[in-house]
Structure 1
Amino acid sequence: MHQATPAAVLPRSATALFAVACGTAVANVYFAQPLLVALGNEFAISPAALGTIVTLTQIGYGLGLLLIVPLGDLLDPRRLITAQLLLLATALLFVATATNTTTLLAGMATVGLLAVVTQSLVACAASLTEPARRGRVVGVVTSGVVTGILLARTVSGLLGDLAGWRSVYLASAVLTCAAALALHRVIPPRGTPAPALGYGRLLTSTVRLFACERLPRLRALFALLVFAAFSTLWSSVTLVLSDPPMSLPSTAIGAFGLLGAAGALAANVAGRLNDRGHANRTTGFGLALLTLSWLPLALTQHSLWALAAGVVLLDLAVQAVHVTNQSLIHALHPDAGSRLIGGYMVFYSIGSAIGALAATTLYAAAGWNAVCILGAGFGSLALALWAFTKNGATEPAHRRASVAMPRRSRS
């Protein structure tokens, strides 16, 4: 597929807008975490079942990654991204006006489905950037994702205490509409005709890409385990901090998300290291740090300083591995960037859903120490996987252009 010269299409100044838009969109997936207790009280959801709210959002996100993100390789990205953002704003209004548990859960799943516009933006920014700068640009845009995730918890906790949980989703709907208008002006229209590829074959080609290439399969497994550990922390720490003897308010709980700001720094650094050929070392270091972060986290009930240290280490680790994964996967087949990133992020969503459901269930049954063992287990498994496969963890053995954009079969 012919591609326009990236430098002539996307000015460097536009990278910041992509980062802000990504943060605005992805925040919607995490708003509920500091609000779980408030949502449980209003809709009579038991503590053991609160993880369902996060899990359904992640399931919706996973479906969106599989069914919506690949469309970026087929449709005009400007129209696709604008439409997704406007529909996301509508779903947020649906959640904000929910009157029963069924409506709430359906709205959360729909928000997750449409929040995948974040990955559409990452793939779009990467496709409009020259290869020499791609890792750096992906790092900057992903730092926006990290910041959005962190601010999501802080802002939702603060607004939840000041004006109720519904205000969080109403405010986000307004910001999402503003992002749609701004991006419609910045993203250039597709300069070439859409590829001759139907929707069914588009989805099939995504499966073929992962079936034929070792690199995306391996990096997807890293994502599943890393984000299972990430979700294990953030889906259950709200419960331990709100329970006696701590009994912290939503604002204080959400403020701990700001400690993960180091993750945004890690995203930028990891992107630069990837451009310099250090992706494998960055991955190993990140996975080791992820596993070790659970040592201070295990002391959370005795020291909030220990929690703070653990949060910083965990977020550094997660974002370093995540940026490295995305940069390597997109470089494999740039003309299939949306499909590769979408398929990769399906595993991210699966891992997040597993971590949320397992952590909240385990906390109710066995307490915080058991949750920490679970999180450390996810990290250890990912580190072991890297150790056994590191020789092939950064470079594909071969490239198949025909897999990225299959030709029409001859009749």
Structure 2
Amino acid sequence: MGRSVDPPLSMSTSDASTPASADRSLRGLLFLLATIAGVSVANIYYNQPLLDNFRQSFPGSASWVGTVPAVTQLGYAAGMLLLAPLGDRFDRRRLILLQIAGMCAALVVAAAAPTLAVLIVASLAIGVLATIAQQAVPFAAELAPPSERGHAVGMVMSGLLLGILLARTASGVIAQYFGWRAVFGASVVALLALAVVIILRLPKSQPTSTLPYGKLLVSMWHLLVEHRALREASLTGAALFAAFSIFWSVLALLLAGAPFHLGPQAAGLFGIVGAAGAMAAPLAGKFADRRGPRAIITVSIALVALAFVVFGASARSIAGLVVGVIVLDIGVQAAQISNQSRIYALKPDARSRVNTVYMVAYFIGGALGSGVGAVAWPAFGWLGVSVAGLVFAGLAAWNHLRLPSRGASG
């Protein structure tokens, strides 16, 4: 009788008839959102193990193959700024499905690319559209009750992190047996299967803003000015991701030299070790719900600082590096979940825009960290890299502790 066949944003009436059934329904939706985040963000990283394959396929443009991952990351940053805020203006399920359709088209072009230039253009589009993940995370914050928001965000972020960690491994295996073009084809199949599940299971969301697109973008600046907690969380997150990026941008160089003499595959295996951080994400969310996110962020910053102390003493120790990676990933991811739990409570009708402000700052921090690592390594060696990471952890601590937050911002 005029009602939509789609379930509402929360649980349907039948699902919500008992607390247990409502809880099961919420868990199922969060698992779906975690899968959406992981499968979509993985597309940014599939091309990184394939650079030598690209060089062989396009020998006339071999010197430009490094542009492929660079433009993919650039596209992701642009997509966060230009597409992610639309989640406040339109139904997120529809946006996710539209971006999946566009992503499949871009992946088909990449798989069939006759020249490197075509592959580069397709990779830029893939990066822009991979921001599907930035619709999934605020969607989880909407679906969950306030008392469980941190856990919900943590669960979806764990899916996103696993997508990042496992993308390179999956890409390398598929390329080894079926060629690099099959990697993009396999992603199309995975996304189409996911789209079917989304149509059947994911509810619609209700837009929370009627602002025109231009004003929607401008409003992000106003949110940053209005909410000190958003500024604080953004700077803290950027500093910690800078520290994280310093380590990962230089690790392969450390492992290639004495006494290790290990290839890039070894650095990739450290990513599997980093899965501990992804597994810790839901736990961090639960603690943030119970004890408050600021307390968890304080502990997280301490863990990141400890990791770089361990790194500084582990220039010749694989075991020490493994321990440091586990501590670093747990610290960074726990802080990420807690920061996002904080900012989503600031302005519920602008969660996509708040998330965009935070994530743009976060990736700027990552780029800065990679740049500092590139300078510190040749000038000061591994000890200099470790000290630089410790300095960024100290910046995060100063920013986080200098003024106690008030009210909802904490």
- Is TM (by shorter chain) over 0.5? yes
How much identity, in percent, do the aligned residues show? 38
1:85 equivalent in alignment to 2:95: no
1:385 equivalent in alignment to 2:389: no
Amino acid at match of 1:354: L
**Any idea what SS the aligned residue of 1:197 has?**
coil
Kindly state the Cα deviation for residue 158 of structure 1 after the two structures are TM-superposed: 3.8
Does the aligned pair in 2 maintain the 1:263–1:315 contact within 8 Å?
A: yes
Worse overlay, 154-163 or 32-41: 32-41
**Any idea what SS the aligned residue of 1:311 has?**
helix
CA distance 1:396–1:344, change in 2 (3 Å): same
Does the aligned pair in 2 maintain the 1:219–1:393 contact within 8 Å?
A: no
1:396 equivalent in alignment to 2:409: yes
2:36 aligns with 21
**Any idea what SS the aligned residue of 1:116 has?**
helix
Q: State how far apart, in whole Å, the 1-side matches of 2:197 and 2:270 are.
A: 31
Match of 2:272 among 258, 268, 280: 258
Q: State how far apart, in whole Å, the 1-side matches of 2:247 and 2:50 are.
A: 15
Q: State how far apart, in whole Å, the 2-side matches of 1:70 and 1:93 are.
A: 27
Match of 2:359 among 326, 345, 348: 345
1:6 aligns with 10
Gaps of 5+ in 2: 1-7, 14-24
Kindly state the Cα deviation for residue 252 of structure 1 after the two structures are TM-superposed: 3.7
Does the aligned pair in 2 maintain the 1:279–1:394 contact within 8 Å?
A: no
**Any idea what SS the aligned residue of 1:115 has?**
helix
Worse overlay, 346-355 or 167-176: 167-176
1:289 aligns with 303
1:307 equivalent in alignment to 2:340: no
1:176 equivalent in alignment to 2:191: yes
Q: State how far apart, in whole Å, the 1-side matches of 2:213 and 2:153 are.
A: 27
Kindly state the Cα deviation for residue 74 of structure 1 after the two structures are TM-superposed: 0.8
> Normalising by the residue count of structure 1, what TM-score does the alignment of the two structures yield?
0.83
> Normalising by the residue count of structure 2, what TM-score does the alignment of the two structures yield?
0.84
1:274 aligns with 288
Q: State how far apart, in whole Å, the 2-side matches of 1:373 and 1:329 are.
A: 30
* RMSD over aligned Cα atoms: 3.0
1:373 aligns with 387
Q: State how far apart, in whole Å, the 2-side matches of 1:165 and 1:245 are.
A: 33
CA deviations on 1:185-208 (whole Å, 9 max, x unpaired) are 222234x57743211111122221
Identify which of structures 1 and 2 has the higher relative contact order when contacts are C-alpha pairs closer than 8 Å and 6+ apart. Answer: 1
Q: State how far apart, in whole Å, the 2-side matches of 1:243 and 1:36 are.
A: 22
Match of 1:153 among 148, 168, 171: 168
Does the aligned pair in 2 maintain the 1:63–1:113 contact within 8 Å?
A: yes
Amino acid at match of 2:92: P
Q: State how far apart, in whole Å, the 1-side matches of 2:118 and 2:380 are.
A: 31
CA distance 1:98–1:152, change in 2 (3 Å): same
**Any idea what SS the aligned residue of 2:402 has?**
helix
Kindly state the Cα deviation for residue 271 of structure 1 after the two structures are TM-superposed: 0.8
Q: State how far apart, in whole Å, the 2-side matches of 1:297 and 1:45 are.
A: 33
1:138 equivalent in alignment to 2:153: yes
CA distance 1:216–1:230, change in 2 (3 Å): same
Kindly state the Cα deviation for residue 184 of structure 1 after the two structures are TM-superposed: 2.4
CA distance 1:63–1:328, change in 2 (3 Å): same
CA deviations on 1:349-405 (whole Å, 9 max, x unpaired) are 21222333443465466654443333332222212222213x1188439xxxxxxxx
CA distance 1:81–1:331, change in 2 (3 Å): same
2:242 aligns with 228
Gaps of 5+ in 1: 398-411
Amino acid at match of 2:213: Y
Q: State how far apart, in whole Å, the 1-side matches of 2:111 and 2:211 are.
A: 38
CA distance 1:68–1:363, change in 2 (3 Å): same
1:109 aligns with 124
CA distance 1:308–1:93, change in 2 (3 Å): farther
Q: State how far apart, in whole Å, the 1-side matches of 2:391 and 2:343 are.
A: 26
CA distance 1:69–1:108, change in 2 (3 Å): same
CA deviations on 1:217-243 (whole Å, 9 max, x unpaired) are 111111211212222222332344356
Does the aligned pair in 2 maintain the 1:290–1:313 contact within 8 Å?
A: yes
